[in-house]
Amino acid sequence: MRTPNFSLAVRAPHLTQTLLSALFLIAIPATGIAGNVAKVMGTAIADVVERVMPAVVVVRTEATRYRLGQDWYFGNLYRIPERLAGQGSGVIINKDGYVLTNRHVVDGAQEIEVVLSDGTKYPAELVGEDFQIDLAVLRIRGGDKLSFPFLDTGDSDTLRVGEFVMALGSPFSLSSSVTLGIVSQKGRAIGALPYEDFIQTDAAVNQGNSGGPLVDMDGKLVGLNTMIQTAGPSAGNIGISFAIPANLAMTVARAIIKDGDWKRPWLGIMMDDAERGVRVARVVPSGPAEKAGLREGDLLLSIKGQPADSPRTVQRAVMGGQAGERIAVSVERAGDLRELTI
């Protein structure tokens, strides 16, 4: 057996410490640390992929669209049917066969098919969708007596910038593909959807990955891959992709499964940035905020016990709750501190 060369530890102690820290983050046994670091890390990652992959699915759709044609001799207009096929990704979120994917993957679909990682195909139905965050919930048909593999949900709120994550899905029809990256940033808003609180990652995500899971090194669902940033004429990955946080996605999914839709919580105010807190620019008449006594010009200092340091922070706190939930806020009005419940 070749004796490991530890000269790297002498010349670059910070690099070694970083690698060892990464090993402990993904629960590598201590006995493996003395071996080949890359091999040990690769084995740990492969173990996670092996556990996760059965819950990752391909989502195939078909729809008939019509385009106008014209008989140039008589001038008559008529409709020409076109059969359109699409494909994306999804993830099974419970044993009953409920599947989470993006709304744009199944938008307008007349037929939906889900393909498991072993190639088994099932028809699926749309349970509900939410356009504000681009989310859809499907249910596999014909599997009532089956118990499907599914992913446990991690806590996307505690996910840290710099942590390793994996994106799984079917880019360019290449099913069961895996890429590895890190969390580049959290709380991203890019102006593409009515509400955005994206996890940004550099894991390679491409067309067809939409709706696939973003998982942590414990194999838990922390996000749903949704969009990518591209440059120039290329539609491929440039190292910037965005995922819906799992906490938000599962809040909406549970509401859809239970009630068929998600009742979006709201305060009923418009906000501006301020040097300290958030300024209430406008209060919607008869909205929750007005009924609670909030007024235009109030300085919102905290919400749910957390500092209200930006409009995004306030919006995130509200969206993380349920419609009808009572929220405690601290406001300053004419120099006086007031505690309100909305």
Smallest CA-to-CA distance from 57 within 97, 25, 26, 22 is with: 97
> What is the DSSP secondary-structure string of 47-94?
HHHHHHGGGEEEEEEEEEEEEEEE-TTT--EEEEEEEEEEEEEEEE-S
Q: How far apart are CA 104 and CA 132, in angstroms?
A: 11
Smallest CA-to-CA distance from 109 within 136, 140, 144, 148 is with: 136
Tell me whether residue 191 is exposed, middle or buried, using C-beta atoms within 10 angstroms of its C-beta: 0 to 12, 13 to 18, 19 or more. exposed
Q: How far apart are CA 180 and CA 156, in angstroms?
A: 17
- Positions marked active-site: 104, 134, 210
Which residues neighbour 189 within 8 Å (Cβ) at sequence distance 6 or greater? Answer: 196, 197, 198, 312
Place of tokens 């990704």: 89
Q: How far apart are CA 42 and CA 130, in angstroms?
A: 37
Whole-angstrom CA distances from 47 to 26, 41, 66, 218 are 11, 10, 47, 10
Q: How far apart are CA 83 and CA 229, in angstroms?
A: 29
